[in-house]
Amino acid sequence: MSTAVNSYLNVLVEENEASMRRFNESALMRLLRESAIENEAAQTRFLDYFQSWSDEFQRVIVVRANCEEGDGPHAELAREHLTEEVGHNEILAADRGAGRPARWDPVVACASAWFVDTMREIDSPNRTALAHLVLEGSGLVFATAACKVLPGKFFELHEGADFEHLNMGIELLGRDPSWLLEDLLVTLRQGWDVITLLCSRLAFLATRDE
């Protein structure tokens, strides 16, 4: 790793870690820490809406893999990520109970679509940063807290897997001198804004009286 890439990577990682700390203070994370989601009705609502995001996340990683061309390191990582993540939404569905459909919400749908569309528009290093630093970074923060209050294999699986996937992206960016720090910082900041919006909406939906 060159001195310049190492310096830029340190800035990127520090920015991402600061975003992870802010995400840890978001509405959803506060809800999990306060154990308010242990209420059966709130938990059911949360999991039903969260299923929608989990289903869309599968689209995000498929689109990312499809957008990578050739056999370069970003394409290889995208395929590996897809292989390890594919079908996890079905694990969540099994945890929730057979036959209960996911619930749709316009904010969750629009935020999910932003990730799908953005994966199509950005280049390989930015796709790696969005998938691994933002989505897996937020997933790690979320799963660490969720597995303490939400039952099921899905959350137990992601507590360990998301840590590994976060570091896979950081390691690859450290070997790739082609990216521009300014571009990746924009992707990180926008991605964290959208995932925080999505998860805050899930917190609202979980506690909304119906």
pLDDT digits (tens, 9 = 90+) for 102-130: 999 999 999 999 999 999 999 999 999 99
Range of weakest confidence among 10-24, 91-105, 147-161, 189-203: 147-161
Averaged pLDDT of the chain: 92
pLDDT tier for residue 75 given thresholds of 50, 70 and 90: very high
- Of the candidates 145, 115, 121, which has an alpha carbon nearest to the alpha carbon of residue 34? 145
- Of the candidates 80, 198, 95, 179, which has an alpha carbon nearest to the alpha carbon of residue 138? 198
Which pLDDT does position 149 carry in this prediction? Answer: 86
Contact by Cβ (8 Å): 89, 58: yes
CA distances from 122 to 64, 117, 126, 130 (A): 10, 9, 6, 10
Identify the three-state secondary structure at position 201.
helix
User: Taking the domains of the chain in order of start, what are their residue ranges?
Assistant: 3-207
Which pLDDT does position 4 carry in this prediction? Answer: 59
pLDDT digits (tens, 9 = 90+) for 19-58: 999 999 999 999 998 876 778 888 999 999 999 999 999 9
pLDDT tier for residue 1 given thresholds of 50, 70 and 90: low
Q: How far apart are CA 134 and CA 136, in angstroms?
A: 6
In the predicted model, what is the mean pLDDT of residues 177-204? 97
pLDDT digits (tens, 9 = 90+) for 136-168: 999 999 998 998 888 778 887 766 666 788 999
- Of the candidates 93, 112, 106, 95, which has an alpha carbon nearest to the alpha carbon of residue 205? 106
Element counts in the chain: helices (H) and strands (E): 10, 0
For the domain spanning 3-207, the CATH number is: 1.20.910.10
The dihedral formed by the CA atoms of 62, 144, 37 and 149, expressed in degrees to the nearest 10: 120
pLDDT exceeds 70 at position 61: yes
